Structure 1
Amino acid sequence: MLPPRQRSTAMTIPGRDVRAAFRLVGPAVRLPGGEGRSVRVGDVVLKPTGPDPEFAEWLGDIMASVVADGFRVARPLRATTGSWSHDGWTASHVVAGAEPDHAAAPRWGEIIAAGRAFHRALAHVPRPGFLDRRRDWWATGDRVAWQEQDADPLPAVRAPYTALTSLFGPKPQASPQLVHGDLTGNVLVAPGLAPAVIDFSPYWRPPAFGEAVVVADALIWHGAGPGLLHEVVSANGPDVVPYVARALVFRLVTTNERLRARPTEQSRATIAEIRRYADAARLLADIASRPGG
């Protein structure tokens, strides 16, 4: 089961005026994956801007100017109006690559390294004001994970939530900056090329949190086991454990909010997902209890 994402049931295709605004010619072909709303026209991908037009313009500026060193990004296209968006759509160049098949050959280290390079390139960017306006499930999960908002866990998630929050420890003192909070499925690899970081989901946290979300996702949705955790702790030291705990709470709270909004969705898959959070909490607690942990 993949991370919960907000999806639109509307099958909107950008009209000819949108394609003309970005100087595109040809049919729009819907792309699989993600939120299911992106389309490709030739070598360009069109995506809906979402509810916050300020974010679309900010993102265009960031992706156009970021210095890619150790990673690639999908560079945006301006519309003929000079804006990064037109009539609810944004455009960016296609980047070569595909999401790694972690079941066949795990590449978690490469994803984390790509995210680390991406975060270094963003270290100078000031905090955008639109982050304060977010009220979606992911914003709630992020704020709860960083103890900026009280949680209201449903009975089904209360036990793993309590177990994970007990591993938080003191709030990390590392300086926050812009980080990509959803790297796991948004790093593409291609032979002979640097990894491509796509679909930037900005948060204002220490970079280690963005990396920890990758570890959390690997544990919950990609079948990673204790080996990955031990590898990450060995490479980064025991201080990474509270970050992974917060990352797991971030994801768990989004599940909690989804279940609150859709109470009939408590399926076998959801029950199994919640069990994986409990298993991850036990793994983290075991590592934290060891000497040096």
Structure 2
Amino acid sequence: MSRAQPPPAVLQAFGVRGPARPLDGGQGTSWAVADLVLKPGGGPLHAWLAGVLADVTVDSFRLAEPVPTRDGAWEVAGWSATRWVPGRAPDTATAPKWREVLAAGRAFHRAVAHLDRPGFLDARQDRWARADRAAWGERDIRYRPEFAAVAQRLQGVLEPLGRSQLVHADLTNNVLFAAGYPPAVIDISPYWRPPAYAEGVVVADALCWHGAPASLPETVDVSVPAVARALLFRMATTNERAEGADLRDEARRYGLAAEAIGL
């Protein structure tokens, strides 16, 4: 299926010329043009990031900085831009690479720990936001029969994970590595949760979708309650989506991940 390219008027507004090259990853909507990455739907997050990054000390990681239009706007015709950063997603076949992803996430979370809670988070109603609230008991959810038993096991080990702050809760495919550079943290997916939760999401994804060994949580020192909460989040997201999902296969994956953390 083809996806919409940034129109010529958008390229002109950001001062770049084609050709536009589609980028993999994320929601599959980003395009590289010259030294920019253009993406539809930046919205309040993009404008907020542009305003607060001046107060963030970047240490041991890189960020894809928001770029304004030539007129100083952060969005035009629904499109926003960030600076392109060199790098590729790591080969996650081994635990050391997962350690590197987690280390980049920890550096990012240290750097943004002082930021205030952005107001736009309360207005989010996408399925990821709804699933996150369900995983934290802030919203009722009725899990589909395929997920109910695993969800009950996971809920039995939940416990507090620490102080909430701004976190990037989708680091798994959004940390890029390039020789000679610190890792780049891209496509920030913002939540107001403890950093341990974001780390749990990385481990949950690794167990469910990337063939990570059952020993990974212990190897990278991420707690069972953090992974359990993250698995509930991912499961609730699937529960919200349903259409087009192979529920049996996803339930199998979540079940194996729960077994990996001893449940």
Shorter-chain-normalised TM-score: which range?
A: over 0.9
Question: Displacement of 1:143 after TM fit?
Answer: 0.9
Who is 2:30 aligned against?
38
- Please say if 1:225 is aligned against 2:202: no
Who is 1:77 aligned against?
67
- Tell me how large the CA RMSD over aligned residues is: 1.8
- Please say if 1:250 is aligned against 2:194: no
Question: Displacement of 1:266 after TM fit?
Answer: 5.0
Structure 2: how far apart are the matches of 1:20 and 1:49?
Answer: 18
Matched residue SS, 1:45: strand
Query: Structure 2: which 5+ runs fail to align?
Result: none
Structure 2: how far apart are the matches of 1:165 and 1:104?
Answer: 29
Pair 1:104–1:176, CA change in 2 (3 A): closer
- C-alpha contact (below 8 Å) 1:145/1:250 kept by paired residues: yes
- C-alpha contact (below 8 Å) 1:64/1:75 kept by paired residues: no
Structure 1: how far apart are the matches of 2:85 and 2:245?
Answer: 37
Matched residue SS, 2:73: coil
- Please say if 1:185 is aligned against 2:162: no
Matched residue SS, 1:85: coil
Who is 1:171 aligned against?
160
**Structure 2 length normalisation: TM-score?**
0.93
- Please say if 1:121 is aligned against 2:111: yes
100, 112, 115: which one aligns with 2:90: 100
- Please say if 1:282 is aligned against 2:253: no
Alignment-mate amino acid for residue 126 of structure 2 = D
Query: Structure 1: which 5+ runs fail to align?
Result: 1-8, 287-293
- Please say if 1:272 is aligned against 2:249: yes
Structure 2: how far apart are the matches of 1:134 and 1:10?
Answer: 27
Alignment-mate amino acid for residue 180 of structure 1 = H
Alignment-mate amino acid for residue 158 of structure 1 = A
Tell me how many residue pairs correspond in the alignment: 263
Pair 1:256–1:106, CA change in 2 (3 A): farther
**Structure 1 length normalisation: TM-score?**
0.84
Structure 2: how far apart are the matches of 1:247 and 1:37?
Answer: 25
Structure 2: how far apart are the matches of 1:171 and 1:124?
Answer: 20
Question: Displacement of 1:65 after TM fit?
Answer: 4.9
Question: Displacement of 1:82 after TM fit?
Answer: 1.3
Matched residue SS, 2:261: helix
Structure 1: how far apart are the matches of 2:138 and 2:262?
Answer: 23
- C-alpha contact (below 8 Å) 2:46/2:66 kept by paired residues: no
Q: Can you list the C-alpha shifts for 1:185-235, whole angstroms capped at 9, x where unaligned?
A: 000011121100000000000111111110111011111122212213xx4
